[in-house]
Structure 1
Amino acid sequence: MPKVEESSLRKLHPTQLTVGMIVVKDKAAHLAALPPAEQREFMQRHAMPAVLGPGGRLYITDHHHLGRAALDAGLATAFFRIDGDLSDCGLDDFWKRMEKNHWVHPLDENGVRHYCTRIPGQLDRLVDDVYRSIAGYVRDAGGYDKVPEAFAEFVWADYFRRTIAVEFVRDDFRAAVAQAMQLAKGHHARTLPGFNGN
């Protein structure tokens, strides 16, 4: 099992462009309410999977919401474990291998794909995608199961993006989540990762 290590949050580089800021705010409030010792224990229990990249930089491949929330809550460090070492690669080859391993997901807040080089270098520069928040809320409510496949939440976010108007999401987030819960049970969702029909 990979060793869990500690790093400054500022040294952890994202592998995606977006987070759901509603989910981030919830997580940040949870972290901020914990005493420092419990914050540290929580972060240690939720170590971020990471890949060692060119120049020895650390690229996290999951838990972007937690990383951004920890920054917003004023934490200085987080814990990570190395799942891959691509430090011998040049930058172009690094991103190609990251894509081959499904360790990167460069979709913007509109679901549009970009070059990996557009991914920001810091967690606090990730942008808001409201459909990522909907996907997170639906998963947490049991609308679909958490699965080991990389970036399954993006697939659900895109499914909801195609069906629920963004104006509705912004006007009444809770009602949009309720609609998304119904959509998660539907016929069209059956091929999505983690579908459970509940």
Structure 2
Amino acid sequence: MTVGKREVARKRRDWEERPQSTDANFLSHHLVPAVIGPKQRPWLIDSHHLALALHDAGQKTVLVRVVADLSHLPPGMFMTVMDNRNWLHPFDEHGVRRSADDLPRKVTKLRDDPYRSLAGELRRAGGYAKDDTPYSEFLWADFLRHRVKAALLEKDFDTAVQRALKLARGAEAAYLPGYAGPHG
């Protein structure tokens, strides 16, 4: 349902600053994972920031890696299977679980969650390690949502990142995937 718009803007800048001659190579190394759903429509299950950044930059095509073909399922069962396989994360920009019916059907309709951007920047700053846990950045975003004021995020993002770094190394964050603080 959400992306961090700062993350999208960063990925778009990275894309636009690269030589165009490397587009095909870049795209071939950044396949967007998707599940084929009812009516043969692909459902992105990751790389939403990249997909939106490329769309915003005018890129018309991306390469897709089909993870599963569930096109034979009726819509309700499709959503149940997607949810049970942890291929959905229907939480809004406030961290509230929403109905699968509320999921945007286009990447351009994803809402901004500034805490997703904060979680992304926190990882790049060494606050936590990249992890295979599905939606780990959402878990970090939710952790930060309750500890870093939205006003600080809006007014002074760099200070919010420094605050997040301190929080990420604290004992309260030890349960999160990729925790890089002191152990024991």
Give structure 1 stretches of 5+ with no counterpart: 1-16
Equivalent in the alignment of 1:157: 141
TM value normalised by structure 2 = 0.95
The answer to whether structure 1 residue 71 and structure 2 residue 71 are counterparts is no
- What amino acid maps onto 2:157 in structure 1? F
Distance 1:79 1:90 in 2: 26
Distance 1:142 1:185 in 2: 10
Equivalent in the alignment of 1:191: 175
- What amino acid maps onto 1:55 in structure 2? K
For residues 48-127 of structure 1, the aligned pairs below 5 Å read 48-127=32-111
Question: Which digits, 9 at most, give the CA deviation of each residue in 1:37-64, with x for residues without a partner?
Answer: 3123212211111111111111111110
Distance 2:163 2:127 in 1: 11
Choose the corresponding residue for 1:180, options 161, 164, 167. Answer: 164
Structure 1 runs (4+) deviating above 6 angstroms are none
Question: Which digits, 9 at most, give the CA deviation of each residue in 1:91-126, with x for residues without a partner?
Answer: 110110001000000111111111111111111111
- What amino acid maps onto 1:181 in structure 2? L
Distance 2:67 2:133 in 1: 15
Distance 1:140 1:62 in 2: 18
Aligned residue for 2:81, secondary structure, equals: helix
Structure ranking higher in strand proportion: 1
- What amino acid maps onto 1:66 in structure 2? L
Distance 2:29 2:100 in 1: 29
Give structure 2 stretches of 5+ with no counterpart: none
Distance 1:64 1:133 in 2: 13
Distance 1:39 1:125 in 2: 25
- What amino acid maps onto 1:106 in structure 2? P
Instruction: Give the C-alpha shift of residue 31 in structure 1.
Output: 0.7
Give percent identity, aligned residues only: 39
Equivalent in the alignment of 2:8: 24
- What amino acid maps onto 1:168 in structure 2? L
Choose the corresponding residue for 1:135, options 119, 123, 148. Answer: 119
Instruction: Give the C-alpha shift of residue 148 in structure 1.
Output: 1.3
Instruction: Give the C-alpha shift of residue 24 in structure 1.
Output: 0.6
TM value normalised by structure 1 = 0.89
| Number of positions where the alignment pairs a residue of Structure 1 with one of Structure 2 | 182
Aligned residue for 1:77, secondary structure, equals: coil
Aligned residue for 2:146, secondary structure, equals: helix
